[in-house]
Amino acid sequence: MKVMFFFAIFSLFLVASHTKEVASQDTKACIECHEMVSPGIVSDFKASKHYKSGLVGCAECHSGKDRPDSFSHNGFRIHTVVSPTDCAKCHVSEVIQYKNNIMSHAYGNLTHNDLFKTFMKAVNYFEGRPLTEEDSCLSCHGTKLEVRGTKKRDTVLGVMEFVALEGWPNTGVGRINPDGSKGSCSACHARHSFSLRVARSPETCSRCHKGPDVPAYKIYSVSKHGILYGSQKEKWNLESKPWIIGKDYNAPTCATCHIAEVSVNGEIIAKRTHTMSDRLSHRLFGIPYATAYPKSPETYKVKNKEGLPILSELTGEPVAEYLIDKEEQARRTKTMKSICSVCHTTSFVERHFLRVDEAIVTTNDIIRESTKLLTLSWNKGGANIKDGIFNELIERLWIEQWLFYGNSIRLASAMGGTDYGVFDGGRWSLSSTLEKMKEWLRILFFLTNSQKTAN
Amino acid sequence: MKVMFFFAIFSLFLVASHTKEVASQDTKACIECHEMVSPGIVSDFKASKHYKSGLVGCAECHSGKDRPDSFSHNGFRIHTVVSPTDCAKCHVSEVIQYKNNIMSHAYGNLTHNDLFKTFMKAVNYFEGRPLTEEDSCLSCHGTKLEVRGTKKRDTVLGVMEFVALEGWPNTGVGRINPDGSKGSCSACHARHSFSLRVARSPETCSRCHKGPDVPAYKIYSVSKHGILYGSQKEKWNLESKPWIIGKDYNAPTCATCHIAEVSVNGEIIAKRTHTMSDRLSHRLFGIPYATAYPKSPETYKVKNKEGLPILSELTGEPVAEYLIDKEEQARRTKTMKSICSVCHTTSFVERHFLRVDEAIVTTNDIIRESTKLLTLSWNKGGANIKDGIFNELIERLWIEQWLFYGNSIRLASAMGGTDYGVFDGGRWSLSSTLEKMKEWLRILFFLTNSQKTAN
Amino acid sequence: MKVMFFFAIFSLFLVASHTKEVASQDTKACIECHEMVSPGIVSDFKASKHYKSGLVGCAECHSGKDRPDSFSHNGFRIHTVVSPTDCAKCHVSEVIQYKNNIMSHAYGNLTHNDLFKTFMKAVNYFEGRPLTEEDSCLSCHGTKLEVRGTKKRDTVLGVMEFVALEGWPNTGVGRINPDGSKGSCSACHARHSFSLRVARSPETCSRCHKGPDVPAYKIYSVSKHGILYGSQKEKWNLESKPWIIGKDYNAPTCATCHIAEVSVNGEIIAKRTHTMSDRLSHRLFGIPYATAYPKSPETYKVKNKEGLPILSELTGEPVAEYLIDKEEQARRTKTMKSICSVCHTTSFVERHFLRVDEAIVTTNDIIRESTKLLTLSWNKGGANIKDGIFNELIERLWIEQWLFYGNSIRLASAMGGTDYGVFDGGRWSLSSTLEKMKEWLRILFFLTNSQKTAN
């Protein structure tokens, strides 16, 4: 009798604790079905703080006010795409901050910039092929999700109708959501576990920052910071809140310097921010020159003297009106230096930043030399500017000068990843490609002159 | 007195448990010596399930029916090379499945294919140098192990005689073993611990799938799957059996999608297989075009209309008779999609696969353009086809189009590793190299014509 | 009453244990301040064996006999830069060994070698820019730290004066310290935790050995050794002393083969050494040819017949007088082989080393062919030797032959990282670049002749 009574109480307790864990009856219904049809999503979600809080569930994020992509699904009105608008229900400051982050404008900054649209075509060879663009540039920049009617599908529960979404799936940082909001929190807070550990791990950033255009992850990996992460991370606490360097972990990940709250003995020296430019004085991966950071995250609106949508003239002169001023640069640098100072002395930090300045100057100088060669080529018939500036070989060599090597050298300097500034897409590549441009131009001119002579 | 009795019992227990752990008296003898001369092998073995089962030991795998490489060793008749025939004593279904895996034919598919033999020479610069070939292509494809008499060696136990093996050591996937069997289980089930954890870790695949020809590991690493692995694997159980996604781990490794049993709520949706093509509709790393998957794993037997041992014409048209049909392709795609569906919705999965199809079409198209340029070059005296098709610069540019960039783009599309489809050996490289071929051809033609004029 | 007494005793115990942990009153003073201004350094230090021993603290390393960079700081006479001289107070044999390690001479071997100085300029494009050099070659090779007066800085404790150091910060392996000593132990024993785990992790070596010039880390990563590390390291004990393979870990890291003590059943077969050449028979990353290992670590003193500071003639013939003899080579190879033998049979090891020898021969041969083309180019007016041998395109192609591809192939052979010997900067690149040199030379000669004809 006693035993039965115990079991009854115990069962009640189980039910109670279970009910407590599920945010709502709607969410409970979601889970019941989806545990059968997509158990990986549900198990991932059940590992999340959202689930464990008992406050956030499927229905809390995947339903709400009607929007273009809402549809009826088993008696519920839901949307597939969770947008920053959904996250803002709880994380309002993060969403507001992220709106000012250049990343949230990555779609428009690419597709509304005439120069970059031409570049996309040069990269992909084809244009006007959405599936190619989604799979290429827009994979990181974000797609534009648009409702294209509905589609019926045969499911385990019979035929069901779903909204058909152009551009889906995508977790690009500047995704245009059906509700008009920009960005995908899931880009860094992956899938349904929303793990702090994942967001704080440099691997997360590697998805879009590993290639030769922005080799930040590779550079981090061989920096002292990355080495300490790689060799010790099993011993670190990457999930604590607050997340205190020296206590929970002993070398920064990407998140530490660019996003996380950094405090010293309880005093906050850098506020947590999802506007990463708050700590960035320069736009290092320069297009084509490194400049001060742009004032507005909507860089496609920039116009230089020639009317080109880039932050500098082709001579390298920055287009000052669109850029933050020296005072603002100093403020941001001060924040970043204060983060360095948690583990490094002032003399260490000061000269480190001098070297970064030097890398900006020298890479800009060599790129300026390269631009002169390209201009010469255009002017003297070596290459054709009229058919676009990104297709011919000498134009492509020029592109690699800034898109690959200049960027790599500056980032390697800023993050202490030596080799990427020297032999692995670094200074060796920059000086070699300049020489290659020179010699190639000699041949182009020879061919052009021979043709003229022949005519 | 009591204490002594306890120790006696305890010692007996130790002996008993020890005896239980060693598979046989022969194995015990092996261990006794080898613990002295190669303790690393023994300690690795002692960490294995084989050892712990008390059923499998050194003698169980390294001896048995006499074969060409058997030799007498301290009173035992043993063979150095453990082949699939040995493993089949217990793992018969895996060995049968692996026989149909294209990997097990990697040696013959390379060395019995006249085109690829020429290519090997083009890569290595030299030909007929076994040590170079073993260290180069055959390191992954597998060597042919052949007995070349015996060799006496001075050991700690005095002079002993061993079988001398040409091609040894090697753990290539298509190794030809002295007993005639094909493959090396040790390629993935490394060394003597035969660890499931190791076999299921993507690092294992990186040995042969990291280079520009098959950058699968690099692509995986920056995919969401790889990021979740990289940032969380310490928390995963990579040794459980069954190995259930959502319970033991929460994002696929290479093994999940290509080999492992995948089940949903206890229902198996993809059977475990060592014939990895069971889930592959296409041959993505195309030679030179991506096609449907070949019917037979022995691809060296293929002949296209021109008599070349490749799965398509030089125009890209697939050689249908050697390829699986659309129905079989659909069956395999369905299996793969069902694996995706454990964690992804149907709309997610469907468009993902549309993008892969698009990547196949567009890369094949650009490679076709490249082939046209090469053919033009051959026909008009820009390059010489008679001295082989893999040596001159324009031929090598053509090779990189499909061997590196086409492959990278398609695999990046299939596995969600964006950047390897864009700037890191992706679309940028493919379109740039096409342009380079065009401009180089212009120069070759100019030189050829100048020479003609001069003569 | 009893409780209060207990707390009193407990507090005393805490104080006692704390006092025991801090090496000296001076160190205690350092910590008290620096816990406020650079807590990351202190927390890192508190995680160290140094701190826990109660014997080594801040003052023990950062102060002592006066040297050029000593300065007064809050009543203490300290120096910022801890040099091997400081470490030698306790680790005398390591410091003596390291003096004979070629790494400790990395600064002079680069900057006192006229050829390499020209090369530095070719890489950086600029010369005489210290900040660029510190950020580039000298980041790994080490800078020359020189006192440049003092500098006042505003600190939380008011204005303070510090020694100003040219070349600081730097942890290059051959750093010239203000006290004249060479090297930075912190290059591998990173920061203030001096963790054995970090020093033994291959990530540590990746800082300077990942680029195309010395891709050792990348090669290790895809070798069986690296795969076992990558997939299992969470289970390894990387901090034990002694560190026994088979017990604490089951595949070598870089440290195992090149530095650590290796023992078999208690018998030491390779003594721990910080002169890494003790186990190296060849200089594999050849300049431009692989040779026997140099006798002296000061390679800038070498002179070949032509008076060039390199270990071979331009024909590849080694400059024997500067190289260890066959006997010494055999001794070193024997040590390395004995390490292999812990886990591999003799037949395995023997042919592995034959393949390395073959890789040396074949890469040297192809580089010799490349040098012939370059010499031809110089002699016949294709390229200009007078303006340096590292600037023109054909010279740079030649450099990549040995600096990148030859090195990669040999290291891939030695460490079992196949792909880096084949398609990823390996044999494919070596044979392709040879062809590129040939065809480029044809164009150069054509242009030169056309110009002559025109004149």
Q: How many Å apart are CA C309 and CA C306, to the nearest integer?
A: 9
CB contact under 8 A, A35 and B265: yes
* Per-residue pLDDT of chain A in tens (455 residues, 90 and over written 9): 455 455 545 444 444 444 457 899 999 999 999 999 999 999 999 999 999 999 999 999 999 999 999 999 999 999 999 999 999 999 999 999 999 999 999 999 999 999 999 999 999 999 999 999 999 999 999 999 999 999 999 988 899 999 999 999 999 999 999 999 999 999 999 989 999 999 999 999 999 999 999 999 999 999 999 999 999 999 999 999 999 999 999 999 999 999 999 999 899 999 999 999 999 999 999 889 999 999 999 999 999 999 999 999 999 999 999 999 999 999 999 999 999 999 999 999 999 999 999 999 999 999 999 999 999 999 998 999 998 899 999 999 999 999 999 999 999 999 999 899 999 999 999 999 999 999 999 999 999 888 887 76
Q: Kindly report the nearest CA distance between residue C125 and chain A, in angstroms.
A: 6
Helical ranges in B216-299 per DSSP H: 216-222, 224-232, 254-258
- Name the neighbours of B, counting chains with at least 3 Cβ pairs within 8 A: A, C
Residue A421 with chain C: CB contacts under 8 Å: 135-136, 139
**Cβ of residue B334 closer than 8 Å to a chain A Cβ:** no
Find out whether C431 and C238 touch, Cβ atoms under 8 Å: no
Residue A223 with chain C: CB contacts under 8 Å: 207
Find out whether B437 and B371 touch, Cβ atoms under 8 Å: no
Nearest CB to B224 within list A134, A190, A392: A190
Q: How many Å apart are CA C86 and CA C92, to the nearest integer?
A: 10
Q: What is the pLDDT of residues B399-416, one digit of tens each?
A: 999 999 999 999 999 999
Helical ranges in B278-426 per DSSP H: 326-340, 346-379, 393-400, 407-415
Stretch 52-91 of chain C: residues touching chain A, C-beta under 8 Å:
80
Map residue C154 onto helix, strand or coil.
strand
Residue B446 with chain A: CB contacts under 8 Å: 447, 450
Q: Kindly report the nearest CA distance between residue B159 and chain C, in angstroms.
A: 13
Higher pLDDT, C226 or B21: C226
Q: What is the pLDDT of residues C306-364, one digit of tens each?
A: 999 999 999 999 999 999 999 999 999 999 999 999 999 999 999 999 999 999 999 99
Stretch 219-278 of chain B: residues touching chain A, C-beta under 8 Å:
221-224, 226-228, 230-232, 234, 245-247, 250-251, 264-265
Alpha carbons within 13 A on the beta-carbon side of A335: 23
Question: Mutating which of C422, C442, C450 best tests the B interface, going by the most B Cβ atoms within 10 A?
Answer: C422
Q: Which residues of B367-380 are buried (b: 16+ CB within 10 A; e: fewer)?
A: bebbbebbebbbee
CB contact under 8 A, A341 and C37: yes
Q: Which residues of C28-54 are buried (b: 16+ CB within 10 A; e: fewer)?
A: bbbbebbbebbbbbbbbbbbbebbeeb
Q: How many Å apart are CA A296 and CA A327, to the nearest integer?
A: 16
**Cβ of residue C446 closer than 8 Å to a chain B Cβ:** yes
Nearest CB to B348 within list A155, A169, A208: A169
Q: Is B15 left (phi over 0), alpha (psi -120 to 50) or beta?
A: alpha
Residue A132 with chain B: CB contacts under 8 Å: 358-359, 362
User: Residue B148 — φ and ψ, nearest 5°?
Assistant: -120, 65
Q: How many Å apart are CA B299 and CA B309, to the nearest integer?
A: 8
Nearest CB to C39 within list A342, A366, A413: A342
Q: How many Å apart are CA C41 and CA C77, to the nearest integer?
A: 19
Specify the amino acid at residue B158: G
CB contact under 8 A, A198 and B426: no
- Picking from C244, C251, C265, C246, the residue whose alpha carbon sits closest to that of residue C201 is C251
pLDDT of the residue at B368? 98
Q: What is the pLDDT of residues B253-298, one digit of tens each?
A: 999 999 999 999 899 999 999 999 999 999 999 889 999 999 999 9
Question: Mutating which of B43, B136, B450 best tests the C interface, going by the most C Cβ atoms within 10 A?
Answer: B136
- Residue B7 pLDDT > 80: no
CB contact under 8 A, A210 and B419: yes
pLDDT of the residue at A64? 92
Q: What is the mean pLDDT of chain C?
A: 94
Q: How many Å apart are CA C426 and CA C419, to the nearest integer?
A: 7
Nearest CB to C80 within list A343, A347, A421: A347
Residue B421 with chain A: CB contacts under 8 Å: 135-136, 139
Q: How many Å apart are CA A293 and CA A301, to the nearest integer?
A: 14
Find out whether B136 and C421 touch, Cβ atoms under 8 Å: yes
Specify the amino acid at residue C176: I
**Which tokens in the block code for residue B134?**
């073993």
Q: How many Å apart are CA C94 and CA B393, to the nearest integer?
A: 51
Q: What is the pLDDT of residues A368-404, one digit of tens each?
A: 999 999 999 999 989 999 988 999 999 999 999 999 9
- B142 burial level (CB within 10 Å; 0-12, 13-18, 19+): buried
What would the mean pLDDT of C371-388 be, rounded to a whole number? 93
State the pLDDT confidence band at B453, using cuts at 50, 70 and 90.
Answer: confident
Cα angle C173-C179-C184, degrees, rounded to a multiple of 5: 20
State the pLDDT confidence band at C27, using cuts at 50, 70 and 90.
Answer: very high
- Name the neighbours of A, counting chains with at least 3 Cβ pairs within 8 A: B, C
Nearest CB to C136 within list A227, A366, A427: A427
- Picking from C210, C291, B54, the residue whose alpha carbon sits closest to that of residue A423 is C210
pLDDT of the residue at B15? 40
Residue C234 with chain A: CB contacts under 8 Å: 234
pLDDT of the residue at A1? 45
Alpha carbons within 13 A on the beta-carbon side of A331: 8
pLDDT of the residue at C3? 52
Residue B228 with chain A: CB contacts under 8 Å: 190-191, 198
Helical ranges in B76-159 per DSSP H: 84-87, 92-99, 106-111, 114-124, 130-135, 137-141
**Which tokens in the block code for residue C128?**
């005489």
The kind and range of the H/E element at A411 are helix A407-415
ipTM of the complex: 0.94
Question: Mutating which of A80, A120, A136 best tests the B interface, going by the most B Cβ atoms within 10 A?
Answer: A136
- Residue C19 pLDDT > 70: no
Residue C421 with chain B: CB contacts under 8 Å: 135-136, 139
Alpha carbons within 13 A on the beta-carbon side of C291: 24
- Residue B187 pLDDT > 70: yes
- Picking from B229, B243, B223, B227, the residue whose alpha carbon sits closest to that of residue B201 is B229
Find out whether A48 and A239 touch, Cβ atoms under 8 Å: no
Beta bridge partners of B383: none
Specify the amino acid at residue A133: E
**Cβ of residue B362 closer than 8 Å to a chain A Cβ:** yes
pLDDT of the residue at A5? 52
Q: How many Å apart are CA B55 and CA A156, to the nearest integer?
A: 45
pLDDT of the residue at C329? 98
Stretch 167-226 of chain A: residues touching chain B, C-beta under 8 Å:
168-169, 171, 190-191, 193, 195, 197-198, 201, 203-204, 206-208, 210-213
Residue A355 with chain C: CB contacts under 8 Å: 131, 134-135
Helical ranges in A125-188 per DSSP H: 130-135, 137-141
**Cβ of residue B44 closer than 8 Å to a chain C Cβ:** yes
Q: How many Å apart are CA A115 and CA C339, to the nearest integer?
A: 58
CB contact under 8 A, C345 and B207: no
Residue C222 with chain B: CB contacts under 8 Å: 206-207, 210
State the pLDDT confidence band at C148, using cuts at 50, 70 and 90.
Answer: very high
Q: CA-based Rg of chain B, rounded to a whole angstrom?
A: 26
**Cβ of residue A35 closer than 8 Å to a chain B Cβ:** yes
Q: How many Å apart are CA B8 and CA A11, to the nearest integer?
A: 50
- Picking from A292, A45, A272, A276, the residue whose alpha carbon sits closest to that of residue A183 is A276
> Residues near A243 by Cβ (< 8 Å), separated by ≥ 6?
A196, A200, A237, A249, A260, A261
Stretch 370-429 of chain A: residues touching chain B, C-beta under 8 Å:
391-393, 396, 403-404
User: Residue C11 — φ and ψ, nearest 5°?
Assistant: -65, -45
A-to-C residue pairs, Cβ atoms closer than 8 angstroms: 157
**Cβ of residue C431 closer than 8 Å to a chain B Cβ:** yes
Q: How many Å apart are CA C160 and CA A224, to the nearest integer?
A: 29
CB contact under 8 A, B38 and C422: no
> Residues near B5 by Cβ (< 8 Å), separated by ≥ 6?
none
What would the mean pLDDT of C68-79 be, rounded to a whole number? 96
Q: How many Å apart are CA C407 and CA C215, to the nearest integer?
A: 8
